[in-house]
Structure 1
């Protein structure tokens, strides 16, 4: 039964992660930590194993989603590579921070982080994008309806933000898109669909760096990973297809509620030990 749950978890996390550019780790990590309290098979999961296994899964989610989004011509590959200049070292720094973190501290910190992310998702469509400064990278994107949208950023700002995104990726086992997507939309005026697709490309790159580090530290449970990977691959494709056809507003609303519930549960578990 646990393996069916893990396969379904990988599928749902990848679908939601791909739709919103989150990567799915923000769902997988807390789910693994919560399941460890109720299943004897999953009882050996530590924060380090949850994070390391999640990052390995996100390689497959990121690759699956990126391939689908590239076919839709929605990935800004050059911007993704520029952001990776920051997120790559940030991911390694996050892995280093994760090594000896206390379980209760991890649960409380991650719970607070998830609640903050839900708030960012709530306000991201209500804040007008900031005006771009000159002497930065300027790009245009033509939507499927023929509308031309201009967006841009200063590389140093993009790389700096990506460093912290990578740090959270390596520390918490998430893709970092929960921060990078709002940053791209609010600060750099990226069109939402382009931000999501480019974020998944960045998730692929950052997760690869982080997971290699976690594998070397022995923080990956390969049995759990094998159960999660098939759903993650299929979910990445499905999420990209849904993103193309549907508005994400309702999905964002459900995701926000889901994240708040998980965040509060993890904070409670970290404070009480239950």
Structure 2
């Protein structure tokens, strides 16, 4: 039974993760903790196991998504590599800190993080674009399928600082970093949503490799549970990347906001009741 549940969770994680650039961990982590920790349907699940499972899955969802986004030319490779370099030290530190978290604390902190991200996107339209980062950087231009022109950019020093924090959250919560990076790219660097998602998945793939090494060395990976999750998540990521190209930019941001808000509320409630 647990393998069927994990396969379904993996499929949904792949679809949603690739669709909005989250990497899938933001779905897999709370869902697996709910079915495994709260309902007891997945034996032996701990926050550390779930994070280990999530980072292994994200190698494959990141790869599948990146290959799809490469075809649609919505991956900014240079930005992805810069963000990856900044995230590596934070990822390793986050994986180490993860060892000290119990389930209620994990759920509570994870939920607060998601609510903050959802709130940022909720007020996005009411915030003035932060042009200071774009104005003081080398600008890039992108025209989306609807004919909208985007001018975006960022100072490298700030991108490295930001992605250190993204990497820390990724290593700590197993969420791939995309749930933080995508909103930041859209709000601070004025990335077009489709390019933000494609570039995020490229970085998720690279950082998941480093993240997995950390968690494997710490003994956090439940290898038997990767058997149903990996193929299901890979297929889901292909589906999500395909759907991404059929959805308007604003619809994409709306979907991301709702997903983060609902998961954040559920996680906080679980943390407080735990």
TM-score normalized by structure 2? 0.92
Question: Unmatched 5+ residue regions in structure 1?
Answer: none
Tell whether the 8 Å contact from 1:168 to 1:174 is kept in structure 2 after alignment: yes
Question: Unmatched 5+ residue regions in structure 2?
Answer: none
1:54 and 2:36 are equivalent in the alignment? no
Measure, in 2, the Cα distance between the counterparts of 1:114 and 1:204.
Answer: 21
The aligned counterpart of 1:149 is 150
Name which of structure 1's ranges 148-157 and 171-180 shifts more when overlaid on structure 2: 148-157
Matches within 5 A, 1:25-40: 25-37=25-37, 40=40
Measure, in 1, the Cα distance between the counterparts of 2:78 and 2:87.
Answer: 14
Counting matched residue pairs gives 273
The aligned counterpart of 1:225 is 226
The aligned counterpart of 1:178 is 179
Alignment partner of 2:179: what SS?
helix
Name which of structure 1's ranges 108-117 and 238-247 shifts more when overlaid on structure 2: 108-117
Task: Give per-residue Cα distances to partners, 1:66-122, cap 9 Å, x unaligned.
Answer: 000001111000111011121111111111111222222112111212222222332
- Residues 166, 154 of structure 1: alpha-carbon distance in 2 compared, 3 angstrom cutoff: same
Measure, in 1, the Cα distance between the counterparts of 2:76 and 2:231.
Answer: 27
Measure, in 1, the Cα distance between the counterparts of 2:260 and 2:143.
Answer: 33
The aligned counterpart of 1:168 is 169
Please state how far the C-alpha of 1:248 moved relative to its aligned partner: 5.6
Tell whether the 8 Å contact from 2:13 to 2:24 is kept in structure 1 after alignment: yes
Please state how far the C-alpha of 1:260 moved relative to its aligned partner: 3.4
Tell whether the 8 Å contact from 2:169 to 2:175 is kept in structure 1 after alignment: yes
Tell whether the 8 Å contact from 1:20 to 1:248 is kept in structure 2 after alignment: no
Name which of structure 1's ranges 263-272 and 170-179 shifts more when overlaid on structure 2: 263-272
The aligned counterpart of 1:195 is 196
Tell whether the 8 Å contact from 2:117 to 2:183 is kept in structure 1 after alignment: no
TM-score normalized by structure 1? 0.92
- Residues 78, 261 of structure 1: alpha-carbon distance in 2 compared, 3 angstrom cutoff: closer
1:139 and 2:140 are equivalent in the alignment? yes
Measure, in 2, the Cα distance between the counterparts of 1:144 and 1:255.
Answer: 20
RMSD of aligned Cα (Å)? 2.0
Alignment partner of 2:141: what SS?
strand
